[in-house]
Amino acid sequence: MQPAQLQGIFVPMLTPLNADESVDLTSLRRLVDFLVGAGVHGIWAMGTTGEFAGLAETERARGVQATVEQVAGRVPVIANIGDSSTALALRHARHAAQAGADALALTPPHYYPHSMDEMLTHFRALKEAFPDLPLLIYNIPQTVKVKMTLPTTLQLAREGTVQGIKDSQNDLRWFRMLALGIRAEKLEEQFRLFLGTRILIDAAVVVGAHGAIPATSNVAPAAAAEAWEAAVLGDLALAARAQEVVLRYEELADIARGGSPDAAGYSSMKNTLREWGVIDNARLTRPLREFGEEEVAELRRRSPGQGLRARGTRADTRHEESAEAPCSVPAPRSRYSYSWQPRSWRCRGLSFRLPPPRHPLAWTTTSASSCRVDPNRRPSRPSSRAPPLARLRLKATALSAPSALKAVSGSVADILSAMPISSAQPSQI
């Protein structure tokens, strides 16, 4: 695979587990279909959100293999092979390559505070062993103790050792300086820039990213894809509104009454997916704390998916027809070929791919008339009487704007100006 094919929303996929903390392959395959069916552009397997650090080598290998098999070439799969030494990372890389992963992602080895010359040795060893697979740096210093420097990252890019980066430290200044350096070296097609962020998907486009890898896209995959695609096409208002839906699921982690922030996020997402019937068990690798019964009950009450009455049932989002004349508006949709394809909206018999089946959100569009989307119907053929996209206002039914965005207008520039660039809370994705 060419590095230029890696772009858009890659989901850092959760790893469904059985009660004994082995990988639940049946649930994993359902989760893959749920995400790919929602229109995401790729899968990031065995990342931080996938709890790779708590899984045995054999379980990691089983998870990657099942993911690649179930994706079946519909989107690219990037497999994280990070571990505490180069030798261990090579073992994971061998499993991922044999499984057919499209690219590899590698963290600096965790535990020891390694130097940058040791990082050169680390990444070069992996590239030498697997020269035909794109290799991405996974920069997440809050968990591995080592922060990649700009000179070392640019050196690895320049010499062709690495073909991209996922930067999860939430330092937009660092990321933008890297993007400028890559552009100055004319390496944009050979080095792909991904921002590991759950709340700045639209902003990632502005700072020069080729894609984003938000953990919350596990439960809001269609909204995350919509936020990215709209931002790429310059419709920042639509992008901001789709981002608000992603943020709404982020807030569910606040239900936790103990445990670490990471455990709260993973447990909220796994319990949500269990309620939707996507996975069978919300188990986390110990000692990560799982939600108790009272927290799960609160999750059901506060979730945007509260219309689900029982696990495995569809949302109670009934189709509402408008008395107004039919209307439609094209919106972007990315395919594996990465050419932008139209997706259709309709009023009167309205259908849209956002959200996907099983997903509880209903979306509305308002112009001269108001319509509700049926999430379980196929997209319709676009009508010739389509009003301009700027005339439509997209909003999520029963969702208010997150508090983080209430004070800003919704544009990316305003969002960036309202947030500290270097002091933002690190996003561990």
Please say if 166 is a catalytic residue.
Answer: yes
Catalytic residue among 48, 107, 197, 272: 48
Catalytic residue among 111, 121, 149, 366: 111
Please say if 111 is a catalytic residue.
Answer: yes
3-class secondary structure per residue, the chain: CCHHHCCEEEEECCCCECCCCCECHHHHHHHHHHHHHCCCCEEEECCCCCCHHHCCHHHHHHHHHHHHHHHCCCCCEEEECCCCCHHHHHHHHHHHHHHCCCEEEECCCCCCCCCHHHHHHHHHHHHHHCCCCCEEEEECHHHHCCCCCHHHHHHHHHCCCCCEEEECCCCHHHHHHHHHHHHHCCCCCCCEEEECCCCCHHHHHHCCCCEECCHHHHCCHHHHHHHHHHHHCCCHHHHHHHHHHHHHHHHHHHHCCCCCHHHHHHHHHHHHHHHCCCCCCCCCCCCCCCCCHHHHHHHHHHCCCCCCCCCCCCCCCCCCCCCCCCECCCEEEECCCCCEEEECCCECCCECCCCCCCCCCCEEEECCCEEECECCCCCCCCCCCCCCHHHCEEEECCCCCCHHHCCCCCCHHHHHHCCCCCCCCCCCC
219: exposed, middle or buried (Cβ count in 10 Å: 0-12, 13-18, 19+): buried
Catalytic residue among 49, 67, 138, 249: 138
Catalytic residue among 67, 153, 161, 166: 166
Q: Which residues are catalytic?
A: 48, 111, 138, 166
